Chain A
Amino acid sequence: MDLLEFARGPALQVASLIFAAGLVWRLIHIFLIPKKTDISEARFGGEKMGGLRTIFSRFVHHQPFRRRTRNGTLLAYTTHIGLAIIVFGSAPHILFIESFSGLSWTPLPNVVIHVAGALTLAALLTSLGRRLSHPVLKMLSNFDDYFTWLVTTLPVVTGLLAVAHVGARYEMLLAIHILSFNVFLIWFPFGKLMHSFIAIGSRYTTGVTFTRRGARV
């Protein structure tokens, strides 16, 4: 078994297993903690709708907060949208998704993927620079922040290298790319990558609480 077969085969299987088990465990753990029911008299009702609305509305800051948060938001959006374009728009990734889900769609043109890749990498590097230099981010940051950055950036870098055929043989680059993705999968449930699931819960509950009060969410 060569490295590529290993990366695509057993390594990916183990990584996926850890990903799934970790994800389930982390979410179940939260769900096992008892819920506190709010028995105050609601001002208007419609809490559930308010909760659902908040899941989406917090994608964008309220107007008075926008100016001061512009840089961070811009970087976050570039990274997230860039990653989404690369993951769901590039032909090899769609083939990969099809291989386990049966779903497939038309890929985006290569040039779009390449530009997205370059922008994403630039945003990731800028984010790291900001994290290392901005007094607030520097103080807040811990192992999780830096390691998450690393496991997110590695697949982007190795993917770009594989596409450009730079640094090693294509098979080798592809193997490294898949291995780096495996590391990403393994780390996912343990660190802050889980915000992609947990933030749905925290936005929803805050939305419910404050809609109940008739307050802004």
Chain B
Amino acid sequence: MTQATEQYPLDTSEQRLTIREPHPRHDTQGDMTADERLRKAMANFAKDINRTTATYMEACVHCGQCAEACHYYVRTEDPRYTPIWKLEIFKQAYKRENSPFGLFYRALGLKRKVSVEQLGEWQELLYDSCTMCGRCSLMCPMGIDIATLIGQARHGMFEAGLIPDELHAVAQRAREEGSPLGATASVFEDRAEWMADEHDTEVYIDEDEADILVTMSSIEIMKYPNAIGATAKILNALGEKWTFRTEGYEATNFGMMAGNVEWQKHATMKLIDSAIKCGAKLVLLPECGHAYGALRWQGAAMYGKPLPFKVQHVSEFLADVISSGRLKVKKVDQTVTFHDPCQVSRRGGATPAPRVVMEALGLDLKEMVPTGDFNWCCGGGGGVVTIHRADRLRYKVFELKMEQVEATGADTVLSTCSNCRQSYNDAKEHFHWDKTMESLLELVADNLAEEN
């Protein structure tokens, strides 16, 4: 049994006295000595250092302002959740080993050598308490993109076998089975056929040629399969030549979130190869935030050259076809609020797209405060929703979202990310909350005008 020690302090804020982290502080994978883990973590972090990240490492003035942008700090006031502190040991190692005055730091003992125990301790900071939402990056007065550095630190942690077990297992499953949630190609085909019946529409799979390669998130396939039917209905209404491909239908990228570049590349290349094979001009990404970042902004780097097709998040696609008059929708008499998925809005630049769609639907949109690029994260991104030991913290920061939503007075929360939706609906259950998050895509599909 874990003892209440200084390291595991008793938390008296709960009704039942509890130990804040009553489990081992960190997980390990693989059989490595402490030294080996340390060496691998630092070497892999250093490998990713380029001019931009080096500039970031050098620019911090320890003003502490990024803390005020991070939901973890704002909600808990625990200083360890200060965004740049989450990188402290990597910053220390960089200054000691790679910086212009590394020699001087070492000689004067100004930067101590990082220990493997510290790396273990930092696991919670780099995984459980960072959704890579980038709110801190938007606020740092020095312009440091902290979220990118967190991603880089995760590379080091993964190689050192120092990531949360659940996230490792999910990412590994995605690598081995093609889906983190067991949505293998045959499961997907079954569910796609089921959805074709359910929505009374045609679903195209493994067409030899198509203009649009359509992809899904495993969360949609397994939990919100109506997304398959909704997408098919819309594309068919538009008369598009489209297809799913069983060798590249799944767009999530848990390798990226876990910090394994090889797994990230593997997942990305499946989509790229599938698109090339069927001659797609457009890869349509599902309602998933990180899938957008993985292919739209990091895909070309994985491929090694510019992608030979366009990449769009489904909300951008909908905004385009609605604005151009190609897709007509019926008016919906509903008051809603909108949750911006961080990777699509703040980190992806597609903030206006869902608003174009909502306007066309005639929705009474009550924006959250703050909204758009400044919206608070759902707390489930960056793989955090997979990490069970982080649940309590996740619920705590979710209270911010609940307050935001309640203040709008809207009954329904719309979003364009199934991972956000999953995090919302999980928290809804936890808090016995009466607000449900729904999909904008599905709302569009349910309200297609007759003239389509």
Q: Which residues of A contact B (CB under 8 A)?
A: 25-26, 29-31, 33-36, 38-41, 43, 54-55, 58-59, 61-62, 64-65, 68-69, 72-73, 76, 134-145, 190, 192, 194-195, 198-199, 201-207, 209-210, 213-216
Task: Please pick, from A139, A205, A214, the residue contacting B85 in the complex, using a CB distance under 8 A.
Answer: A139
Judge whether A72 and B63 touch: CB under 8 Å: yes
Listed stretches B139-147, B211-219, B324-332, B380-388; interface member: B139-147
A51 to chain B, nearest CB (A): 10
Task: Please pick, from B49, B67, B73, B143, the residue contacting A204 in the complex, using a CB distance under 8 A.
Answer: B143
Judge whether A54 and B143 touch: CB under 8 Å: yes
Task: Please pick, from B51, B296, B297, the residue contacting A33 in the complex, using a CB distance under 8 A.
Answer: B51
Task: Please pick, from A40, A61, A190, A206, the residue contacting B299 in the complex, using a CB distance under 8 A.
Answer: A40
Judge whether A62 and B58 touch: CB under 8 Å: no
- Give Cα distance in the complex from A195 to B74, angstroms: 26
- Give Cα distance in the complex from A68 to B82, angstroms: 14
B-side interface size class: 35 or more
Judge whether B300 and A39 touch: CB under 8 Å: yes
- Give Cα distance in the complex from A39 to B297, angstroms: 8
B305 within 8 A of A: yes
Given A40-B299, A201-B55, also A206-B139 (CB < 8 A):
no
B310 within 8 A of A: yes
Judge whether A216 and B49 touch: CB under 8 Å: no
Given A30-B58, A34-B51, A206-B145, also A135-B300 (CB < 8 A):
no
Judge whether A61 and B348 touch: CB under 8 Å: no
Given A140-B64, A140-B84, also A195-B142 (CB < 8 A):
yes
Judge whether A69 and B348 touch: CB under 8 Å: no
A194 to chain B, nearest CB (A): 7
Judge whether B59 and A137 touch: CB under 8 Å: no
> With a CB–CB cut-off of 8 A, which chain A residues contact B65?
61, 65, 69, 72-73
Judge whether A135 and B62 touch: CB under 8 Å: no
A60 to chain B, nearest CB (A): 9
Judge whether B62 and A58 touch: CB under 8 Å: no
B307 within 8 A of A: yes
Task: Please pick, from A35, A39, A136, A203, the residue contacting B306 in the complex, using a CB distance under 8 A.
Answer: A39
- Give Cα distance in the complex from A59 to B129, angstroms: 28
> With a CB–CB cut-off of 8 A, which chain B residues contact A206?
137, 143-145
Query: Which chain A residue lies CB-closest to B345?
Result: A215
Listed stretches B99-107, B405-413, B430-438; interface member: B99-107
B50 within 8 A of A: yes
Judge whether A215 and B82 touch: CB under 8 Å: no
Judge whether A65 and B69 touch: CB under 8 Å: yes
Judge whether B307 and A41 touch: CB under 8 Å: yes
Given A137-B62, A214-B350, also A30-B54 (CB < 8 A):
yes
Given A195-B142, A205-B55, A206-B137, also A216-B346 (CB < 8 A):
yes
Which B322-381 residues have a C-beta within 8 angstroms of A?
345-351, 370, 373-374
> With a CB–CB cut-off of 8 A, which chain B residues contact A68?
68, 74
Query: Which chain A residue lies CB-closest to B59?
Result: A202
> With a CB–CB cut-off of 8 A, which chain A residues contact B301?
36, 38-40
Task: Please pick, from B82, B138, B140, B373, the residue contacting A136 in the complex, using a CB distance under 8 A.
Answer: B82
A25 to chain B, nearest CB (A): 6
B110 within 8 A of A: yes
Sorted nearest first, the 10 A-B pairs with minimum C-beta distance are A203-B143, A214-B349, A29-B100, A215-B349, A64-B370, A68-B68, A213-B349, A36-B50, A202-B59, A136-B64
> With a CB–CB cut-off of 8 A, which chain B residues contact A201?
55, 59
Which B112-147 residues have a C-beta within 8 angstroms of A?
137-145
> With a CB–CB cut-off of 8 A, which chain B residues contact A55?
143
Task: Please pick, from A33, A64, A72, A205, the residue contacting B49 in the complex, using a CB distance under 8 A.
Answer: A33
Task: Please pick, from B80, B299, B306, the residue contacting A139 in the complex, using a CB distance under 8 A.
Answer: B80
B9 within 8 A of A: no
B77 within 8 A of A: yes
Task: Please pick, from A34, A38, A141, A202, the residue contacting B55 in the complex, using a CB distance under 8 A.
Answer: A202
Judge whether B67 and A136 touch: CB under 8 Å: yes
A201 to chain B, nearest CB (A): 4
B133 to chain A, nearest CB (A): 13
25 A-B pairs in the complex with CB atoms less than 8 angstroms apart: A25-B100, A26-B101, A29-B99, A29-B100, A30-B55, A36-B52, A39-B305, A40-B299, A40-B301, A41-B306, A61-B139, A76-B63, A136-B82, A140-B79, A144-B62, A145-B62, A195-B61, A199-B59, A204-B143, A205-B51, A205-B145, A206-B145, A209-B145, A216-B138, A216-B349
B345 to chain A, nearest CB (A): 8
B298 within 8 A of A: yes
B317 within 8 A of A: no
Given A26-B101, A58-B141, A136-B73, also A205-B58 (CB < 8 A):
no
Judge whether B80 and A203 touch: CB under 8 Å: no
Judge whether A34 and B79 touch: CB under 8 Å: no
Judge whether B373 and A215 touch: CB under 8 Å: yes
- Give Cα distance in the complex from A189 to B74, angstroms: 34
B8 within 8 A of A: no
> With a CB–CB cut-off of 8 A, which chain B residues contact A138?
79
B56 within 8 A of A: yes
- Give Cα distance in the complex from A137 to B99, angstroms: 23
> With a CB–CB cut-off of 8 A, which chain B residues contact A203?
142-143
Judge whether B62 and A142 touch: CB under 8 Å: yes
> With a CB–CB cut-off of 8 A, which chain A residues contact B58?
26, 30, 194, 198, 202
